[in-house]
């Protein structure tokens, strides 16, 4: 067999340039029996971990490298034409030390040298050269560029410089042959250079795609990347179809005159030995107070937290409302503490506890928990979570399984507005270099790739649109699936050669990585600089981001946390603040009763607009049918309301059982305590775990492994688990047939079962919002409107619902309104932030004037002191059209559609007046003519006098202007006069509609509302 290893190769992670899918590529490499294979993306190491693991899984040796960009001078010099600011160079990691160096180099490319491309320079390379092997790269390499431009000196100097930096045995002169004329020139020069400088040769194929036939899709991909049309003669293109994964024989044939260059690929592959270790964890250090060990301090904090919680528990026990004894809590706590210490996670818990405590101290709202962490009593005692795991039978092993040790995963919800403050705290505490956000990659989805390819191929938009519209809208849709499901699309492909080509190219590119961006929640904290563990990337807004996504960050043992922004928490905080401001009442949302009849009535009637997780119309229908009466019912509905259980009929079954229409029977008496809360339906993964525990004697750790296996549906593993289950059940005198049937049932439900811990915390949060809505409807409405004030459609829907519920909403008014929506004696006052085209800075300036003047009586008085740089004519007009300036025309006779245009007509003069006054004051002439004094004390009569005459708006115009500025018709609706007739025809108010998996086609008549 020919001796050759590919050492220069780009996958799809050379974004929009490489077109190799990693798994497909490695499969092919394995088929060709290649002993090793290298990866060298353009300027990044996005794919290193995936490539390493997937290659090893196939018995291939991965060679990790990068095709770096090298600045001609200093990486810090950022000028020049984009084409001349960097040369290519291949760097391969020979040792783990070299791999670490490569990470540092590639990171610096983004954080220090970025200019069109992430660039390093020779100085930096010299600092991090150990353990690296270099190759001179393609025609864009410095050596090749010198040779092809007939500047031999430049070529010699470049090669000598790299030899000196990397060492004589570590720099190779790279030959490529794709049939390109320039390469002929370079390849003719390289052997002489090699002789003179005593440098070895090596050959590569600069692989960019898998098969020769992929040259065309790859070319289209380049066009997508550069935004050019395929026929554009000046665009970037590859002059050859040879950049594919050639076989060793094909390479041997191309380089038969250079046997050394071929065999050197094998030598390099043998020399490169990098392994990304598995099972290591790099937790950041948590400093504990003097006199404490880490474990000791952890236990101290947990015990102190438990003492706090104990007060409430003792009280509940005294009134008979505690399901478990205090002793049971003690036992569970001791068990969890011991287990967490054994797994060496006290530091992890303390880190999490610390920043959550910080958030609470600063009044930043924190959620009650999400995901499986709510299963831990330790987390509850540390206030990492806020629901009692024993009370809801949440299982610790679902979170941390001693029999399958993996880094715990604690995700935290923070108030959307203030999430950044917590990230800032963590960054300061653990060191700026040790904290980063996490990258995420966008891929080309079925519809989008068709549109992209269509544009490049210059097909008429309408034609491409027709094809794209035939692709069903589903999350996991692929072109193959679409063709299988949709005969119209199949016909289009068969009958139209253009469509056939479009689809064939699109299929080849579908699913490939298109761009990198910053993950919305992920934060990674390392014990020292991140670049000691993972390469860094720079986001569009200069965020420092890891080059590896969540999965790989976890894989290499770094601690990642999800800091999510949740607007519901902002809503709750705002409502509580408004309750305090208007009623002087301090509401402790974590101490509200969980048996409030008003709150359950709201759920039972499906009046759940704005209630977290429960507001879709399908959910509201289920609420009305199932009539929840306790938190457990909400937890179950929250878990069941997902496509799987809905489609399978589980939800209907649950409702029928709850209503008593179906008998609830248990095949085994042991099942009753586990399933009674869901009326015999297996709704949670935790129930599967409990059943295997009580029926077959599994430990909860084993039960968690079973739970996971059921989710993955691996036939072989399931066979073993089944035998173990039946065996265990037999030992407990359960008849074999019954046990087997039960196992099958669990397996069936496991696909639908949901994490109860997560469902519980989110149902708890839902209850809190519903409690506010039921007991403080105006305050809840004000907070909800504020949260949605920039989302016109939703705001209109919520305003409509509020009106239907009899909550008066008062119009915007510069003499009454605040930035946000507020509660007044007579109703909820419109917030100024919801008016279109009016910025927050403008509103703040206006409120300052109001604070000073008490009441703004005229445009002149307002302009006298307003920051007019923030207030152009458009802002005034928007305010007037929204009705927010109506109070400046108090005392002026006439309807709003007569006075509003007069206010608009007065704006220019008032602004001029204000500018003049402010200028005079600045120049020390303020008050010379007494103008400002006079205006300031003007009564309503005088205000009227300053309003010029202007033609009145029609009613239609007034409504249109309201819609333009408020997003909705305020003082009426164009179709109001048909309202009653339409209702008779079965029209629904807009608040009755919404996305739902159950009723995709909602309306059978007109959709009307006074607010839409
Ligand atoms: Zn290159
Ligand atoms: Zn390349």
**484: Cβ–Cβ under 8 A, 6 or more apart, which residues?**
none
* Distance in Å, CA 304 to ligand 1 centroid: 60
Residue 944 has pLDDT above 50, yes or no: no
Residue 642's CB is within 10 A of a number of other CB atoms, namely: 14
The string of pLDDT tens digits covering residues 861-903 is: 888 888 888 888 889 999 999 999 988 887 777 888 888 999 8
Backbone angles phi, psi at 828, to 5 degrees: -95, 125
Structure tokens given for 827: 């109703």
Distance (Å) from CA 183 to ligand 2 centroid:
14
Mean per-residue pLDDT of the chain: 88
Q: What is the pLDDT of residue 134?
A: 96
How, if at all, do strands 1007-1008 and 988-989 pair?
parallel
Phi, psi of 636 (to 5 degrees): -65, -45
pLDDT for the residue 979? 53
| CA of 10 relative to ligand 2 center, distance in Å | 6
Q: Compute the distance from residue 55 Cα to the ligand 1 centre, in Å.
A: 23
Distance 533 CA to ligand 2 centre (A): 25
* Distance between Cα 142 and ligand 2 center (Å): 13
Q: How confident is the model over 961-1000, as pLDDT tens digits?
A: 998 898 878 777 655 545 555 555 555 544 444 433 333 3
Cα 548 to Cα 553: distance, rounded to the nearest angstrom: 6
Ligand nearest to the CA of 137: 1
CA dist., res. 245 & res. 461, Å (int): 35
> Cα(159)–Cα(193) distance, rounded to whole angstroms?
8
Q: What is the pLDDT of residues 659-718, one digit of tens each?
A: 888 888 888 888 899 999 999 888 898 998 899 999 989 989 898 888 888 877 778 888
pLDDT in tens, 449-480: 998 999 888 888 888 888 888 888 877 888 98
Six-digit token string for 678: 């869901």
Using an 8 Å Cβ cutoff, are 336 and 396 in contact? yes
Alpha-carbon gap, residue 689 to 670, rounded angstroms: 13
Ligand 1 centre to CA of 804 (Å) is: 65
**Would you mind telling me the total number of residues written for the chain in this entry?**
1012
Q: 9 CA distance to ligand 2 centroid (A)? A: 6
CA 420/CA 259 separation, integer angstroms = 58
The pTM of the full predicted model, rounded to 2 decimals, is: 0.80
- Residue 388 DSSP SS3: coil
Cα distances from 311 to residues 308, 318, 823, in angstroms, run 6, 11, 36
In the reported structure, the alpha carbon of residue 42 is separated from the centroid of ligand 2 by a whole-number distance in angstroms of 7
pLDDT at residue 129 above 90?
yes
Considering 149-153, 646-650, 749-753, the range whose residues carry the highest mean pLDDT is 149-153
What does the pLDDT read at residue 83? 74
Does the pLDDT value for residue 943 go beyond 50? no
pLDDT at 437: 93
Residue 390's CB is within 10 A of a number of other CB atoms, namely 17
Distance of CA 736 to the CA centre of its chain: 47
Spell out a b/e string for 710-731, using b for 16 or more CB atoms within 10 Å of the CB, else e.
beeeeeeebeebbebbbebbee
CA of 243 to the centre of ligand 2 (A): 9
pLDDT tens sequence across 253-263 = 999 999 999 99
* The token pair that represents 854 in the structure block: 């008490």
Residue 928, pLDDT above cutoff 60:
no
pLDDT of residue 188: 92
Q: How far is the CA of 208 from the centre of ligand 1 (A)?
A: 10
Rounded-to-integer distance, Cα 526 and Cα 923, Å: 57
């Amino acid at each position: 067999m020919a001796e050759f290893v590919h050492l220069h190769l780009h996958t799809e992670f050379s974004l929009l340039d490489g077109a190799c899918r990693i798994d497909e590529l490695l499969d092919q490499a394995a088929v060709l029996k290649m002993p090793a294979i290298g990866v060298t993306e353009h300027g990044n190491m996005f794919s290193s971990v995936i490539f390493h693991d997937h290659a090893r899984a196939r018995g291939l040796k991965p060679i990790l490298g990068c095709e770096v960009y090298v600045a001609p001078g200093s990486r810090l010099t950022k000028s020049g034409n984009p084409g001349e600011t960097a040369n290519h160079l291949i760097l391969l990691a020979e040792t783990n030390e070299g791999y670490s160096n490569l990470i540092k180099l590639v990171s610096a490319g983004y954080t220090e040298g970025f200019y069109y491309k992430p660039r390093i320079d020779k100085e930096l390379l010299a600092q991090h050269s150990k353990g690296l092997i270099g190759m001179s790269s393609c025609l864009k390499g410095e050596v090749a560029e010198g040779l092809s431009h007939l500047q031999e000196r430049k070529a010699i100097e470049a090669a000598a410089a790299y030899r000196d930096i990397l060492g004589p045995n570590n720099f190779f002169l790279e030959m490529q042959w794709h049939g390109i004329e320039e390469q002929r020139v370079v390849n003719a020069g390289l052997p002489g250079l090699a002789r003179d400088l005593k440098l070895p040769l090596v050959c590569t194929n600069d692989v960019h795609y898998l098969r020769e036939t992929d040259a065309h899709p790859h070319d289209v991909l380049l066009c997508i990347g550069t935004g050019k049309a395929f026929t554009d003669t000046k665009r970037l293109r590859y002059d050859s179809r040879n950049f594919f994964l050639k076989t060793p024989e094909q390479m041997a044939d191309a380089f038969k005159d250079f046997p050394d260059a071929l065999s050197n690929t094998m030598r390099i592959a043998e020399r490169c030995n990098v392994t990304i270790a598995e099972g290591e964890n790099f937790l950041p250090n948590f400093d504990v107070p003097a006199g404490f060990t880490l474990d000791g301090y952890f236990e101290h904090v947990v015990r102190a937290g438990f003492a706090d919680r104990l007060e409430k528990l003792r009280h509940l026990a005294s009134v008979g409302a505690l399901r478990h004894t205090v002793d049971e809590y003690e036992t569970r706590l001791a068990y969890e503490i011991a287990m967490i210490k054994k797994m060496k996670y006290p530091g992890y818990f303390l880190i999490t506890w610390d920043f959550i405590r910080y958030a609470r101290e600063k009044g930043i709202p924190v959620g009650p928990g999400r995901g499986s962490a709510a299963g831990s009593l330790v987390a509850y005692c540390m206030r990492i979570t806020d629901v009692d795991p024993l009370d809801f039978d949440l299982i610790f092993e679902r979170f941390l399984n001693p029999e399958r040790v993996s880094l715990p995963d604690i995700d935290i919800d923070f108030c959307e507005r203030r999430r950044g403050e917590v990230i800032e705290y963590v960054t300061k505490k653990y060191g700026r270099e040790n904290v980063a956000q996490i990258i995420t990659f966008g891929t080309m989805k079925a519809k989008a790739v068709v549109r992209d390819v269509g544009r490049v191929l210059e097909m008429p938009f309408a034609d491409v649109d027709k094809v794209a519209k035939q692709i069903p809208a589903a999350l996991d849709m692929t072109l193959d699936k679409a063709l299988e499901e949709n005969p119209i699309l199949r016909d289009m492909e068969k009958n139209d050669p253009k469509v056939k080509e479009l689809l064939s190219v699109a299929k080849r590119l579908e699913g490939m990585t298109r761009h990198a961006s910053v993950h919305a929640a992920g934060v990674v904290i390392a014990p020292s600089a991140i670049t000691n563990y993972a390469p860094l990337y720079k986001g569009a807004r200069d965020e420092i981001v890891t080059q590896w996504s969540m999965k790989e960050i976890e894989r290499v043992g770094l601690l990642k946390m999800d800091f999510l922004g949740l607007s519901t928490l902002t809503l709750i905080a705002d409502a509580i603040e408004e309750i305090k401001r208007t009623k002087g009442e301090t509401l402790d949302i974590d101490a509200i009763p969980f048996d409030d009849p008003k709150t359950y009535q709201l759920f039972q009637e499906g009046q759940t607009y704005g209630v977290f997780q429960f507001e879709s119309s399908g959910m509201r229908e289920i609420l009305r049918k199932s009539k929840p009466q306790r938190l457990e019912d909400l937890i179950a509905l929250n878990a069941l309301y997902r496509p799987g259980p809905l489609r399978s009929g589980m939800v209907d079954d649950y409702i029928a059982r709850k209503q008593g229409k179906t008998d609830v029977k248990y095949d085994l008496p042991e099942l009753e305590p586990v399933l009674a809360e869901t009326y015999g339906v297996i709704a949670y993964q935790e129930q599967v775990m409990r059943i295997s525990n009580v029926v077959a004697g599994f430990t909860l750790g084993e039960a968690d492994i079973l739970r996971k296996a059921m989710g993955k549906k691996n036939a072989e593993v399931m066979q073993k688990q089944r035998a173990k289950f039946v065996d265990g059940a037999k030992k407990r005198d359960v008849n074999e047939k019954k046990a087997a049937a039960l196992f099958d049932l669990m397996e069936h439900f496991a696909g639908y079962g949901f994490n109860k811990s997560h469902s519980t915390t989110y149902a708890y949060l839902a209850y809190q919002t519903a409690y506010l809505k039921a007991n403080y409807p105006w305050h809840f409405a004000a907070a909800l409107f504020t949260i949605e004030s920039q989302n016109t459609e939703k705001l209109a829907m919520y305003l409509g619902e509020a009106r239907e519920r009899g909550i008066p909403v008062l119009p915007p008014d510069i003499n009454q309104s605040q930035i946000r929506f507020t509660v007044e004696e007579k109703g909820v006052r419109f917030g100024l932030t919801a008016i279109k085209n009016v910025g927050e800075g403008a509103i703040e300036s206006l409120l300052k004037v109001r604070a000073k003047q008490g009441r703004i009586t005229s445009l002149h008085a307002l302009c006298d002191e307003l920051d007019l740089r923030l207030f152009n004519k458009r802002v005034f007009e928007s305010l007037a059209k929204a009705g927010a300036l109506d109070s400046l025309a108090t005392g002026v006779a006439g309807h709003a559609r007569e006075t509003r245009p007069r206010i608009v007509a007065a704006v220019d003069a008032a602004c001029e007046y204000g500018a003049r006054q402010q200028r005079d004051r600045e120049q020390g002439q303020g008050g010379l003519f007494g103008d400002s004094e006079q205006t300031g004390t003007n009564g309503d009569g005088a205000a009227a006098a300053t309003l010029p005459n202007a033609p009145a708006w029609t009613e239609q115009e007034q409504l249109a202007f309201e819609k333009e500025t408020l997003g909705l018709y305020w003082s009426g609706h164009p179709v109001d006069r048909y309202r009653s007739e339409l209702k008779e025809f079965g029209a629904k108010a807009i608040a009755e509609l919404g996305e739902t998996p159950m009723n995709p086609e909602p309306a059978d008549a007109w959709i009307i509302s006074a607010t839409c």
